[in-house]
């Protein structure tokens, strides 16, 4: 957080200032929607390594960070990109080859963990996962947890309802708070101070933003001071949480941004094919990330014509009749 | 009238959905089944997604539960906290029917969507729970889609991601879960349901041309076949509405 009046900066500076090797990171969005892809690609481009990533179901962004060799450990509920990859491909490979450590939770549990972090409390309870291996199997060993600063000693705990049978509940699972060093989100509109307006589903972006020590916001549109304040009922994240604001049109590309553009089915399909083969994936990293200066470079490589096909229909908020086969 | 297996499976699930159901959908065929119910037999049922979209108007088939297509003409566009709270809260949660899939299932309807092999050195890693474990924990009824293969219907799961009846009757209560569990498993060969007393899976229906013996050959677990009947194929009307209203772009069918 900071209270500066103008937090607008460029992405290279924001990433190098806040995303340090080995830091604890979380990214917003869900599977193939509103992932902060420009920021993800910039982290890969800057070769920032050893990151500890917190995710619920941030498909494409998670897979690219893993494939870009930035991730050492991951706490996650779901690694998939819908029909394009029912299990994220580089994630699958990295886990099977033991290149990354994984701790599994459910989506609700990860969301509650961000909310607990945002609230400043050590944990929150739920009834989800009682009787399952999410409780019994720990991806991070006790030794690793004790030896790693920034991780709680336990994955989670099952406890008796401290209010006896209140609400017909005998037991709860308590999950520990997350306070990422940095959260990255991509939103439709933000102003110079970092007030944010998200359109469509917010996923867990608001909780992730408020739980973080530092928040980096990329946005489709950057607004002058009073624009978002005149209709502030529609804003979800106030500026006090924000550290950096960067104006990047198509900043979620190739994932979707409701009311602006759809996901790019061709990019996601081509990515899945390349990610399946180490050599092709190496070429992908070179051509689509390291060989380019910035996100604008990617948009130019893909070309205006293709971007036009995913432009959102003003009525539906997505690209109606887009060829998605 | 000709129909495909996928159409048969979708329609069988749709017939199970009622007008007072709030339907939790995952990706793929589960979404199609919810759309089919809404367009055919349960027009008042409500489609909802873990991402926070409630009562979406699905003009086109979403390819993921985070697809912008789930955000169109909803009652509210919230977030993950909203959707999971609506399932955990018994006032609304008791009306929710979940539609799930998995890599493995056991005879008590517990599901694995995490790993094949040892959790710490898996032969195959899958996506993980997502909202699956949450739904299976909270809601009173769920429908499960599976491919009917020996390695998928197993005596012992490699990892229990989403609880069904755990170890049989009373298993959920012992674990501390609300009442609930799967009501049926729909596969490419047959339909399984769960015995009222034992909570064990039994064969309740086979598709035309499929014998119970063939079903048994494709599962490691042994199930009772004495109650089996032949499933009724989709009618002309069901097929027409499914093809025209639910997946006219042929993304799944």
Q: How many CB atoms lie within 10 A of CB B114?
A: 30
**Could you tell me whether strands B96-101 and B104-105 are parallel, antiparallel, or unpaired per DSSP bridges?**
unpaired
Residue A10 near residue A248, CB atoms below 8 Å: no
The pLDDT of residue A1 is 85
Q: SS3 for A61?
A: helix
- Topology, domain B5-246: Glutaconate Coenzyme A-transferase (3.40.1080)
The pLDDT of residue B48 is 95
Q: How far apart are CA A111 and CA B213, in angstroms?
A: 45
Task: State which residues of chain A have pLDDT below 50.
Answer: none
**Domain boundaries, given as residue ranges, for chain A:** 1-122+179-325, 123-176
The pLDDT of residue A225 is 84
Q: Exposed e or buried b for every residue in A11-40, given b needs 16+ CB within 10 A?
A: beebbeebbeeebbbbbbbbbbbbbbbbbb
The pLDDT of residue A193 is 97
Question: A interface mutation test: which of B25, B94, B112, B130 has the most A CBs within 10 A?
Answer: B130
**Could you tell me whether strands B22-24 and B96-101 are parallel, antiparallel, or unpaired per DSSP bridges?**
parallel
Q: How many CB atoms lie within 10 A of CB A151?
A: 18
Residues of A in contact with B137 (CB under 8 A): 106, 127-130, 132
The pLDDT of residue A117 is 98
Q: Is the pLDDT of residue B1 over 80?
A: no
Residues A241-287: tens digit of each pLDDT: 999 999 999 999 999 999 999 999 999 999 999 999 999 999 999 99
Q: How far apart are CA B56 and CA B219, in angstroms?
A: 37
Of residues B46 and B1, more confidently modeled: B46
Indicate which residue of B16, B50, B200, B238 is catalytic.
Answer: B50
Q: ∠ CA B128-B113-A70 to the nearest 5 degrees?
A: 30
What CATH class does A123-176 carry? alpha beta
As given in the structure block, the two tokens for residue A141 are 């060993």
- Decide if B50 is catalytic: yes
- Residues with Cβ < 8 Å from A292, sequence gap 6 or more? A45, A298, A301
Residues of B in contact with A115 (CB under 8 A): 81
Average the pLDDT over B172-182 and give the result: 97
The pLDDT of residue B27 is 85
Only one residue has tokens 């439709």, namely A188
Query: A1-122+179-325: which CATH number, 2.70.98.40, 3.30.565.10, 3.40.1080.10, 1.10.1040.10?
Result: 3.40.1080.10
Residues of A in contact with B145 (CB under 8 A): none
When CB atoms are compared, the residue of B59, B63, B174 closest to A316 is B59
Q: How far apart are CA B195 and CA B144, in angstroms?
A: 16
Q: Is the pLDDT of residue B253 over 90?
A: no
Residues A201-211: tens digit of each pLDDT: 999 999 999 99
The pLDDT of residue B158 is 98
Q: How far apart are CA B79 and CA B157, in angstroms?
A: 32
Residue A232: phi and psi, rounded to 5, are -75, -10
């Amino acid at each position: 957080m900071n209270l500066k009046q103008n937090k607008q900066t460029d992405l290279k500076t924001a990433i190098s200032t806040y995303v340090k090797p080995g830091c604890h990171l979380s990214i917003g969005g869900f599977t193939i929607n509103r992932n902060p892809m420009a920021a993800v690609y910039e982290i890969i481009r800057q070769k920032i390594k050893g990151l500890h990533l917190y995710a619920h179901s941030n498909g494409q962004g998670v897979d690219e960070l893993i494939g870009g060799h930035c991730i050492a450990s991951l706490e996650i509920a779901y690694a998939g990109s819908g029909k394009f990859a029912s299990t994220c491909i580089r994630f699958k490979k990295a886990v099977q080859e033991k290149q990354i450590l994984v701790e599994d939770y459910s989506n609700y549990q990860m969301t509650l963990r961000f909310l607990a972090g945002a609230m400043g409390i050590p944990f929150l309870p739920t009834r989800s996962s009682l009787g399952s291996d999410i409780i019994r199997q720990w991806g991070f060993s006790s030794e690793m947890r004790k030896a790693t600063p920034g991780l709680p000693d336990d994955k989670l705990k099952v406890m008796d309802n401290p209010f006896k049978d209140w609400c017909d509940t005998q037991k709860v699972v308590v999950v520990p708070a997350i306070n990422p060093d940095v959260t990255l989100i991509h939103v439709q509109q933000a102003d110079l101070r970092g007030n944010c307006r998200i359109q469509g589903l917010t996923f867990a972006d608001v909780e992730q933003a408020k739980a973080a020590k530092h928040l980096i916001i990329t946005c489709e549109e950057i607004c002058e001071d009073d624009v978002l304040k005149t209709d502030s009922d529609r804003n979800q994240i106030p500026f006090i949480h924000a550290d950096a604001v960067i104006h990047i049109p198509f900043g979620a590309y190739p994932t979707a941004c409701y009311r602006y553009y759809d996901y790019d089915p061709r990019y996601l399909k081509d990515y899945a094919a390349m990610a399946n083969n180490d050599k092709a994936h190496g070429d992908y990293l070179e051509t689509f990330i390291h060989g380019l200066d910035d996100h604008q470079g990617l948009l130019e490589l893909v070309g205006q014509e293709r971007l036009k096909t995913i432009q959102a229909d003003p009525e539906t908020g997505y690209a109606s009749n887009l060829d998605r086969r | 009238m000709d129909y495909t297996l996928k159409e048969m499976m979708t329609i069988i699930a749709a017939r199970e959905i009622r007008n007072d159901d709030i339907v939790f959908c995952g990706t793929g065929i589960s979404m199609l089944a919810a759309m089919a119910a809404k367009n055919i037999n349960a027009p008042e049922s409500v489609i909802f997604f873990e991402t926070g979209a409630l009562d979406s108007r699905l003009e086109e088939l979403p390819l993921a539960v985070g697809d912008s297509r789930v955000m169109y003409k909803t009652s509210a566009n919230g977030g993950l906290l909203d959707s999971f709270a609506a399932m955990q809260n018994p006032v609304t949660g008791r009306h929710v029917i979940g539609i799930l899939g998995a890599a493995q299932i056991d005879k008590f309807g517990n599901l694995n969507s995490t790993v094949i092999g040892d959790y710490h050195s898996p032969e195959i890693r899958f996506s993980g729970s997502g909202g699956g474990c949450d739904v299976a924990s909270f809601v009173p009824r769920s429908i499960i889609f599976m491919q009917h293969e020996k390695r998928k219907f197993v005596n012992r799961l490699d990892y229990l991601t989403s609880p069904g009846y755990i170890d049989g009757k009373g298993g959920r209560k012992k674990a501390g879960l609300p009442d609930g569990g799967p009501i049926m498993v729909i596969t490419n060969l047959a339909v399984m349901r769960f015995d009222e007393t034992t909570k064990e899976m039994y064969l309740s229906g086979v598709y035309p041309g499929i014998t119970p013996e063939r079903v048994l050959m494709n599962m490691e677990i042994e199930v009772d076949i004495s109650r089996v009947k032949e499933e009724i194929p989709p009618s002309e009307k069901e097929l027409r509405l499914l093809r025209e209203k639910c997946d006219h772009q042929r993304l799944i069918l």
